[in-house]
Amino acid sequence: MIDINITEKPLDVQECIKMVMSPDSGGIDVFIGTVRNMTKGKRVVGLEFEAYESMAMKEMKKIAMEIKSRWPVHKIVIHHRVGVLQVGEVPVVIAVSAAHRNAAFDACRYAIDTLKQRVPIWKKEVFEDGEVWVAEHP
């Protein structure tokens, strides 16, 4: 099972965990991204996420398929939020279930690392005195 979503609504972490539960799984690994209040010593007021939605959905599906072909995992959920988020809110949730923990850990890490490298989603940091598009992976 693979479930991919991009939404403006707040992400439901519990729901993501529930979606990957299965009786044949021995563990679930979850990555929850949260909006941090500081960047390089500057206070962040909020973040704005923008997605090229059709392509981002496709790239996220590809990542899930790559995981399926590389690790013996059962279920994968990748949900990303767009729009304006406040400090502490959750822009991304990744949940992976597997029979054994190593596959779940490795797959979850691969999912977030690869998402950050190639899924066409952008964040703009909003500071008290202006805003700037982030380019973390030049």
Residues that bind another protein (CB under 8 A): 33, 49-52, 54-56, 58, 80, 91-92, 112, 115-124, 133-138
- Closer of 87 and 99 to another protein (Cβ): 87
Amino acid identity of residue 65, one-letter, is M
* HSE-up of residue 38 (Cα within 13 Å, Cβ side): 3
DSSP reduced 3-state for 23: coil
Q: Which H or E element spans position 71?
A: none
Task: Please report how close the Cβ of residue 26 comes to another protein at its closest, in angstroms.
Answer: 27
- Give 23 or 135: the residue with its C-beta nearer to another protein: 135
Considering beta carbons, is residue 61 or 68 the nearer one to another protein? Answer: 61
Least separation, in Å, of the C-beta of 55 and another protein? 4
- Neighbouring C-beta atoms of residue 96, cutoff 10 Å: 29
The amino acid at 136: E
Q: In angstroms, what is the minimal distance from the CB of 128 to another protein?
A: 20
